[in-house]
Amino acid sequence: MNLAERMRPKTLNEFVGQSKILGENGMLRKMIENKNISSMIFWGPPGCGKTTLALIIANSLNRQLFHLSAINVGVKEIKEIIEKIKKEPMLFPEPPIVFLDEIHRFAKNQQDSLLHAVEKGIFILIGATTENPSFEIINPLLSRCHIFILEPLEYNELKFLLDKAIKEDIILKKKYIEIKEYEALITYSGGDARKMYNILELIVNATSSNKVIIDNSTVENFLNKNILKYDKKGEYHYDIISAFIKSVRGSDPNAALYYLARMLDAGEDIEFIARRLVILAAEDIGLANPNALLIANAAFDAIHKIGMPEAKIILSEATIYLASSPKSNSAYVAIEKAIEAVHTYGDLPVPLHLRNAPTKLLKEIGYHKGYKYPHDYDNNFVVQEYLPQKIKNLVFYEPQNNPRENEIRKYLKNFWKEKYGY
């Protein structure tokens, strides 16, 4: 058991932070003390106490708790819980609590499976999310839940927790630990008590002596050598996603699947992964296989409809397709060159024949004059200048050497001859 788990508060009086909802007149405190709770959603950043509060509520009300993560369960598990409650009412004299961590990862149709049970009071739902519930939770479910906004812990609260851990933790109190400077520990935690405890524990464990002196430079030096890891499985977040991207780009589906599996196992946000696949499809495959973007975008849409755990199959298919596809970054290079030209030459005037002429005056001064409508010509093409005069021969798009873009090169060369050097 790590330090964060050992220091997890067991009662409301031990809980630190969230004074707006847990203070003397806080709504959540009153609900707990009056033993009168209804379904609710906790919205707040990592490490602010969402899971701990759910455990405290279940303990305070002496309710059975089903602790689930939307990463690992689906509709099947929710239905099994509902059936268990219905079939064994003697075990549940009061509606149990279903705590669904990362509820935002449940697709909209998966959230429907919760609605009937919440509406009928079969169980009390406590959902935890780091995302705005207004966007991620279906309205019928949202309307049946209290929304409690949890804030990142403040400096003094985090400092109190550090001192408490050093004095009271069963392992840390056996050592002599002195924190001379708190700023780095607290700053790197970003208001996340769990992350702060993880950093403290890693530093203590890395020190062979029973005497541990911690100041800002100690923390900074340690973190420079030991990249902050995923909370759940200790994965190196940025290294893993980098390896995943480079494996797809490098056309190695096996390596890409391995890093995908590590991200999924560590609880990475599936939307984050799907978003990276869409970017990869455009940036690294592009016009070598335009279908890649369609596949990646379809995968992005599908994971929202399906959710985990089945979403991993969709991500796997998209990853294999993209990794096995021919590659081209010509679209990426082209837009970068075009943006550079904009910055270099500024806002050049649009050629008159390309300008819109909605009024008589604009027509009289030459707007739209001389424009040739391509569909009036053979092959729906006619030579005319589209770029501003000053950059009329600049080339932004260079077809790369792959079957698809070789066809594009041939097509453009047939029309533009030597203008762009195709």
Residues 35-58: pLDDT tens digits? 889 999 999 888 889 999 999 999
Model confidence, pTM: 0.58
Give me the DSSP letters along 171-202: TGGGSEEEES--HHHHHHHTT-HHHHHHHHHH
* Alpha carbon distance 116, 406 (integer Å): 57
Cβ neighbours for 273, distance < 8 A, ≥ 6 positions apart: 244, 260, 263, 264, 315
Look at residue 191 in the predicted model and tell me its pLDDT.
83
User: So where are the chain's domains?
Assistant: 17-149, 155-225, 237-323, 343-416
Class of domain 343-416: mainly alpha
Look at residue 289 in the predicted model and tell me its pLDDT.
94
The answer as to CATH 1.10.8 being correct for domain 155-225 is yes
Fold of domain 237-323: Zinc Finger, Delta Prime; domain 3 (1.20.272)
Work out the percent of the chain whose per-residue pLDDT is above 70: 96
CB atoms within 10 A of CB 116: 10
Q: What is the end-to-end Cα distance of the chain in Å, rounded?
A: 64
CATH, domain range 17-149: 3.40.50.300
pLDDT greater than 50 at residue 234: no
- Whether residue 48 contacts residue 21, with contact meaning beta carbons closer than 8 Å, is answered with no
* pLDDT tens digit sequence for 250-269: 999 999 999 999 888 877 88
* Alpha carbon distance 422, 413 (integer Å): 5
Look at residue 70 in the predicted model and tell me its pLDDT.
87
pLDDT band at 71 (very low <50, low <70, confident <90, very high): confident
